[in-house]
Each structure stands twice: as structure tokens, then as C-alpha cells.
Amino acid sequence: MKRTDSEQASFPIRAVQGEGGVSFPVFPVINDDPSAFTTPADGIAPLVLGQHVVDKHGHSYIYVRAGAALAVGQVVTLFGNITEAAVQATDATANNIQVVKLNTAGILAGAEVGNFLHFGNTTGSIGDLKVIKANTATAGGNAYFTISQRDIRFGRGGFDADAPASAYLAAGSEVALIRPYFVDVAGDNASAYGVAMGTVTSGNNTLVQIEGLARCKGVAATAFTDGAPVFTAAAGEVDVTDPLTAPGVTARVGFSKSAYGGANSIQVPVMLANISSKW
């Protein structure tokens, strides 16, 4: 069976269970292609999107999907939601209870499993959040999202309890597709979600560091002093500019552990703090 990058990284030896939880060996750069592991014969990745792991040095990571190409040391932020869609009238395929028909463009078959749909009524005043359990590709301007599946374990089997109330699914209701563990390169006004460990292909899964001593890409010609707070800047870089005096720089990433004077872009050692995905 094939093994994903993360499987080879996570399990060259068995993980050890201790009082502090499961720890893993040091992780190399993870660049898992999710499309390469779609059947049981392909093998199963040991990590799922959103899973947290800790290496033997106490550094913490979260498994995410790269919505853009990443480079080592780049700070990442949450990927933006897809433009809101509208519930379409029911047809022979969808009943808008267990399976919802949406006019969402650019959807690939099965690619949204594990992501979420947020439903509002036609005025947007009521909301409901449901996990996607299956989805079709966009065809004819529409895609189908399964949010409630038939449970065959008991008796004749019925649908599970995740079907929302029909009032939420009237034609025209607003729906947002939320990908909570998809990340993008942070800008100078973005929140910090983690730090990329190396080169990652857009659309692939990877681990980003959220705790511990990390390497961050510093802005060229910036003087980093030991203990100074650092903040997000353009292109996933970090700077020492205080967001109180420069409002465009809004998210603190952590504290520099370098006294580098600054002449070129370097990998600045940063003790991560205030990362939004810490648990």
C-alpha cells in the first residue's frame, strides 16, 4: 500500500503514549496530495484535517490544506469562504434535506467532505452549520452536497439526525461553504494561523507549526532584536512594526529570538504566540 508523506513522517517508529499525550518524531516537510489517496488500496493518511500533533521537542502543529503555494517560513492565515450560494429548487437528485442542491461553481467531486455549510433563511436571519459528508462536482451550474446519510446499522435504517429543518432549506436560502482548515499566505492585515515548514503545492495537505520555536521569513533589511514582538507583513513575512502605530499590520505572530541587524530576507527564529489555531 502507498503511504502519504505524513504517514512516513509520523510513523517511522510507533508514536509513544505518555502523560503528555501522543508525541511524534520530528516532522519533515509534509506535502500530501489528497487526490492520490481516494480508495482503501491507496492507503489511509494517519492525520485528518484539523488534527493537532506534537513532536518530540514539544513543538505543536496542525494538519491543513494549502489553498495557495507555500514556502518555508511563511505565515499562513485562514482561507476565505467561497462566495455565498443559494439553495436551488428540489429535483429528482436532491430533496434539500439530506442532499442540498447549490449553485456553487468550481466544486470537485468529494473534495468538500469534512468541510461545512452554513445555512441562512431567505432573509439571512437564521443560521445552521452542517458538515459535508459527500459532494458531487459542479455540473450544469450546480453541485450536490450530502449533509445527512442513511444509517444502515439498525433495523431498516433511517437517515441520521443531521438533516436541518426544512425551513432553512427553502429555495433561495443563503449558504456559505466554509473550509475551516484551508490556509492561504498571510498578508499585512491577516490573522496568523500557523507557519509553513517548507515548500507545499497548492491544494495539498501539510503541517503548519502553531507552537514552539519556528522559522519565519523576515522582511528584508529589518532589524530583529531578541525578545521583540513580530507581526504579519505582506507575502507571509514577519516584521517588527507595532500594529498600534501602523494599523495595517494587525496580527502578532510571536517574539523574535534573533539579534540580526537585517540586510536580506532571512529565516528569523520566532517563539510563536497568539496563533489563532492554538488549543
Lowest-confidence segment of 128-142, 163-177, 222-236 by average pLDDT: 163-177
pLDDT tens column, 14-36: 444 545 555 566 677 889 888 77
Residue 238, domain extent: 11-78+183-272
**41's torsion region: left (phi>0), alpha (psi -120 to 50) or beta?**
alpha
Of 137, 157, 178, at which residue does a domain stop? 178
- CA pair distance 115, 182, nearest whole angstrom: 9
Amino acid at 202: S
- CA pair distance 97, 95, nearest whole angstrom: 5
Q: With respect to residue 278, please indicate whether it lies within any of the assigned structural domains.
A: no
Q: With respect to residue 6, please indicate whether it lies within any of the assigned structural domains.
A: no
Q: For position 13, what pLDDT does the model report?
A: 42
Domain check: are 26 and 67 in the same one? yes
pLDDT tens column, 109-137: 988 988 999 887 655 556 788 999 999 99
**Is the entire prediction scored with pTM above 0.75?**
yes
Q: With respect to residue 4, please indicate whether it lies within any of the assigned structural domains.
A: no
Report which of residues 172 and 40 the model is more confident about. 172
Q: For position 201, what pLDDT does the model report?
A: 95
Contact 152, 201 (CB under 8 A): no
The structural domain count of the chain equals 2
Domain check: are 268 and 189 in the same one? yes
Share of the chain above pLDDT 90, in %: 30
Q: With respect to residue 3, please indicate whether it lies within any of the assigned structural domains.
A: no
Domain check: are 187 and 260 in the same one? yes
Report which of residues 277 and 59 the model is more confident about. 59
Residue 38 grid coordinates? 481516494
Domain check: are 109 and 240 in the same one? no
